[in-house]
Amino acid sequence: MFEENDQIELFAIPTFKKERLDQFLFMTMKDESRSYYSRLIKDGYVKVNDNVIKKPSYNVKPHDKIVLQKKFKAPFVIEQDNLEIDILYEDDYIIVINKARNMVVHPGAGNARNTILNALIDSINKDEFADQERPGIVHRLDKETTGVLIIAKSEKIMRKLSEQFKNRTVKKTYIALVYGHLDQRNGLISMPIKRSKIHRQKMEVNFSGKTAITEYSVLSEGMFDKQVVSLLKINIHTGRTHQIRVHMSYIGHPIVGDKKYSTRSCKNCPEIALHALKIEFLHPIYDKTVSFSAPLPEDLKQFLIKCNINYDFDL
């Protein structure tokens, strides 16, 4: 994989402050995105002191010799698809949508077409995103999760919004239906999360993982199939993969319909009763706080009626 042609040699100066390898390459080269260099490292195209390093998080040290093999990049093309998208708001800079259940956000392995990005690709400035594989995608929702999602129309707007998510100034409110009665009606779950080494498609609470904070309050309770279910309002202060699903399962109250993080069965229930209800953030151009809400999907509303739970709440 590592060729001796077209190499670039870099040296960390003696006074160099420790920094991640992908960040070092990004700041030094300044001709590609950080994610590009991260992929380059993972694919084995970077050597440090004559050793192939495949961890973007490797800390560059003073006097390190870094050899970079720049690989050819074929242009990343996202095809336009005519899908029905529920657009809640759109201006020259952002698109806010109500994501439908089982709709994938962006193309990936096994999903090259029929994603939200395929449907909206002609609405964004593709030229500004260069070779990015996920142009405009600021945050994501799981395939089975419904609700409000923001798409940036340019790289500049994407950077501004991403910074807000990084600084945790974006307020995200979810509605979730979970199994069981919660004695603590309001709670804060602060448990780190990382990818499972055994089941690579799952995340888990692990003290060596990244900080993850989930706040919840109980809105109502009901019964279905002789099981107590509780409707929760949830605010997440971090945005880890599967965060709400992992945290609720960890405290013994998995989300109804979540087959990945629950062993309980539920007939005729929604596939993961989790909905991104509301998002609030600073508009990247107008410099004012904006808020957008997505109505509950019909299958979740009908299921709440069966559970004798009132979903007509004011949040």
Catalytic (active-site) positions: 142
**Pairwise CA distance, residues 93 & 286, whole Å:** 10
Q: Is 98 in a helix, a strand, or coil?
A: strand
Give bridge partners of residue 204 from the DSSP assignment: 194
Q: Are 138 and 166 in contact (CB under 8 A)?
A: no
Q: Is 121 in a helix, a strand, or coil?
A: helix
Could you list the beta-strand ranges (E) of the chain: 7-11, 19-20, 46-48, 51-52, 59-60, 65-69, 86-90, 94-99, 146-152, 171-179, 186-190, 193-195, 203-205, 213-224, 227-236, 274-282, 289-293
Length of the chain in terms of residues written? 315
Task: Provide the CB-side half-sphere exposure for 12 (13 A, CA).
Answer: 21
Q: Which residue has the tokens 């095809």?
A: 79
- The alpha carbon of 175 is separated from its chain's Cα centroid by a whole number of angstroms, namely 17
- Concatenated DSSP letters for 181-211? --SSSEEEEE--EEE-SSSTT-EEE-TTSB-
Q: What's 255's DSSP letter?
A: B
Task: Determine the angle formed by the axes of helices 21-29 and 34-42, rounding to 10 degrees.
Answer: 130
What Cα–Cα distance (Å) separates residue 159 from each residue in 12, 21, 129, 265? 28, 21, 11, 41
Q: Are 171 and 289 in contact (CB under 8 A)?
A: no
